Amino acid sequence: MKRLLMLLPLAIFLLVAVFLYRGLFLDPTELPSALIGKPLPSFALPSVEDPQRLVSDDDIKGKPALVNVWATWCVACKVEHPVLNKLAEQGVVIHGVNYKDDNAAAQKWLQDFHDPYQLNIRDEEGTLGLDLGVYGAPETFLVDKQGIIRHKYVGVIDERVWREQLAALYQELVDE
């Protein structure tokens, strides 16, 4: 009994050490999205190419897709863009939300760097971004064919992130 009691401080120390060690590798900027498992917020916004044409959340339903929030003022989005182009070429459905941006600049960007998006949503006021809980571009949502948000990735999608994290999740949604 007394032996065991003497070991107690060591046990507590080990427990705390495990917790703190784990904490070393957690990224505090990575917030869990409050929207996982919830449907896309409903919206009706013009498209980037044509202000007359309205895009709504119903247009996104039907196929699993990536919904990518981007802007021309976002430096990291430029890094991400070629990867999205490549994914679109492979047949991945990607929709773009142009978040709080100048529309002319966005149009030019899509012309200059190629357009990987099937739908281009123009969210100039950031209302859709707010409803999506966006706090910094680029952010990407994985949406299933019913329009339910299944996963959120904050930051640049590079080839490694796609291969190691998102590809399998996307494939799962396609196979569903």
Partner 1 sequence: MKQLIQGLLLTLLLVGSASAAIDAYEFKNEAERERYRTLVEELRCPKCQNQNIADSNAPIAMDLRREIYRMLEEGQSNEQIVEYLVARYGDFVRYKPPVNAKTVVLWYGPIVLLFIGFGVLAFMLMRRRRSAAASSTLSEAERARLATLLDRKEP
Q: By CB under 8 A, name the binding residues for partner 1.
A: 28-29, 31-35, 100, 126, 130-136
Residues 6+ apart with CB under 8 A from 176: 64, 144, 145
Task: Tell me how far, at minimum, the Cβ of 173 lies from partner 1, in Å.
Answer: 22
Q: Which is nearer to partner 1, 51 or 136 (CB)?
A: 136
Smallest distance, partner 1 to C-beta of residue 127, A: 9
**Given the complex with partner 1, which of 11 and 168 has the nearer CB atom?**
11
Give the shortest CB-35-to-partner 1 separation in angstroms.
7
Q: Which helix (H) or strand (E) holds 23?
A: helix 2-24
C-beta neighbour count of 154 within 10 angstroms:
17
Bridging pattern class, strands 139-143 and 149-154: antiparallel
Nearer to partner 1, 16 or 104 (CB): 16
**Residue 81 has which token pair?**
């863009």
